[in-house]
A and B are shown apart, each in its own frame.
Chain A
């Protein structure tokens, strides 16, 4: 037996999952199904789409309409699904490599269109699946197999990136702040437009080991002790916020949504006939 939540929303015959001991992807996946459960959305009205990576394996375990696509392209597939069937709630699960490196172009254009898709990035600051190469979110100075002496690239602030590109909802949480993930995903799904939720995650096997971050519990404690809520952060200087993880609902606005705008075009032609 397992808990009601797991029994109802996961494909139990596929469990236990393949993620490493202490990998936080399992925590985030559960927090997402909790959000769906809280919103009481009919399972059949949801489609979950992912690319390739450890994080992108999540939909394989989730008992909804699911699509495991190609590396970096989850948002391109998700856009097609949403255009074909705008009634579906489309949720994308992606990794920092999947969405910000190979898939960076799709990410900014999905945000620009403000298409009603909720994207959740499991940001563990590294390519987990392929053995620890640095990613666009590996902090400067940190190590990966492809940056054995320290990464010199400046890392992306993903929430700022998608906000600048046109997303109408952004939020950030961590694998320690589990209830906050659930809350942000709920708000993201409710937002009619492109929603982006970043979850700072832990990959003990590669990121942790390469960067001597200690054990799983040490990595969790890092997320716990270095996060600050966006409301509290507003009162602090840039210097005080250096190396802090700002968590909470970061941005929320309203803009015309892509599939609705497209529907208007179709309707205008239907009237002419």
Chain B
């Protein structure tokens, strides 16, 4: 358990804006108000509040936001 938590915490929130269609789902269901939609594209507005829960990744219909490991950067 401890190791998997650690791995999770090392992940980084990544936005692939070319794929974002600005639907607003990620921002609406992020439990910590990390995201907002500006000019029809998702924007990270409060990265320090992110708890890396992965809800945005799970709910994004366009795979435009995700928690990436070191290899994904």
Binding site for B on A (CB under 8 A): 1-4, 6, 10, 15-17, 19-27, 30-31, 178-179, 215-217, 220
Contact = CB atoms under 8 A, between A and B. Distances in A.
26 contacts: A1-B68, A1-B72, A1-B73, A2-B19, A2-B63, A3-B72, A4-B69, A6-B63, A6-B66, A16-B18, A16-B21, A16-B62, A20-B21, A21-B23, A25-B61, A27-B61, A30-B58, A30-B63, A178-B58, A178-B59, A215-B24, A216-B24, A217-B25, A217-B28, A220-B25, A220-B28
A178 B67 CA distance: 17
Contacts of B59: 27, 178
A37 B60 CA distance: 18
B16 A22 contact: no
User: Which of B22, B29, B63: most chain A CB closer than 10 A?
Assistant: B63
B18 to A, nearest CB: 7
B4 to A, nearest CB: 15
A178 B7 CA distance: 23
B61 to A, nearest CB: 3
Nearest to A204: B23
Nearest to A28: B61
A190 B61 CA distance: 26
A216 B23 contact: yes
Given A4-B69, A27-B60, 4 more contacts: A1-B14, A2-B19, A16-B64, A25-B61
Given A26-B62, A26-B63, A217-B28, A3 B23 contact: no
B57 A3 contact: yes
Contacts of A15: 19, 63
